[in-house]
Amino acid sequence: MTTLTRKLQNGERLIGCIQIMASADVTEVLSTTGIDMLMIDQEHGVGNLGDLVAQLRALKGCGIPALVRVPTMDEGYVHRLLDAGVTSILFPSMESAEDVRKMVRTCHYPPAGVRSAGGGLRATAYDSDMGYYARAKDEILVGVQIESAKGVEAAAEICAVEGVGLVVIGPRDLSASIGKLGQFGDEKVKALFAEAEKRILAAGVPMGSVVYQGLTAQDMFTRGHRVVLAGTDIAWLAHSARAAVESVNK
């Protein structure tokens, strides 16, 4: 398996990218850059389910797992993602253990959860891999995001929910939750981020985040992060283009 679950179980430290664009061509290009995983963002990105399947096909065989951030807590849509072959799902803005338990149950078949068991799925290789149903609980990674002061307060309870395999801190929304949107140098914002780190590390659940402003990816690993999202497709494209133009105009 090259699932995110297996990589985290193996103790790997992973550098990833957030893909906002819906293009499978971009997915394929990113897969050649040396990244360890790709977060396909359907919360802030513009892709739909069809786009996602094309992106998964672009990653097939390259050994790079996809973590898909969902746009809503819609159980039906989550089931469709899983049926399409998604093995790692990230739920944004979790603020209570109750909400997290509901999302974990959404991702698993009974008796562990409430996922509907369909047939002819891409996840089962169109019914040529019927062992999928028995393996699914162990292969599927449920990730949750802590992105608010309320979420930080509930971090210990959130991390304690059985079935949570990754907790990702969202610093931008974290700053917004205390009225300091984007003020990453503010001492209260930095303290809240550090408190989230402290509570997640104490719980022993793999932790991840984007690279906090002023830090490097290596700094993030040193602070205990296992998944570091080093940038976005759009940011990397725009930065490279601007640098090229500036080099010509100098």
Q: Is the pLDDT of residue 3 over 90?
A: no
Tell me, yes or no, if 44 is annotated catalytic: yes
pLDDT digits (tens, 9 = 90+) for 121-155: 999 999 999 999 999 999 999 999 999 999 999 99
For residue 208, give both structure tokens.
């991840």
Mean residue pLDDT across the chain: 96
DSSP count for the chain of H helices, then E strands: 12, 8
CA–CA dist 144, 73 (Å, integer): 11
* Angle at the Cα of 109 from the Cα atoms of 105 and 115, rounded to 5 degrees: 65
Task: With beta carbons less than 8 A apart as the criterion, state whether 144 and 100 touch.
Answer: yes
Residue 13, H or E segment: none
How confident is the model at residue 1, as a pLDDT?
44
Burial 31-61 (b: 16+ CB within 10 A, else e): beeebbbbbbbbeebebeeebbbbbbebbee
Cα–Cα distance between 22 and 10 in angstroms, integer? 30
Residue 95 has pLDDT above 60, yes or no: yes
- Kindly indicate the confidence band of residue 236, based on its pLDDT and cuts at 50, 70 and 90: very high
pLDDT tens by residue, 54-71:
999 999 989 899 999 999
pLDDT at 50 over 90: yes
Instruction: Please determine, for residue 91, whether its predicted confidence score (pLDDT) is greater than 60.
Output: yes
pLDDT at 2 (0 to 100): 62
Predicted pLDDT at 72: 86
| Cβ–Cβ < 8 Å for 177, 186 | no
Contact 29, 242 (CB under 8 A): no
Give the domains, in start order, of the chain with CATH numbers: 4-249 (3.20.20.60)
pTM: 0.95
The burial of 142, by beta-carbon neighbours within 10 Å (0-12 exposed, 13-18 middle, 19 or more buried), is given as: buried
Query: What is the percent of the chain where pLDDT is above 90?
Result: 97
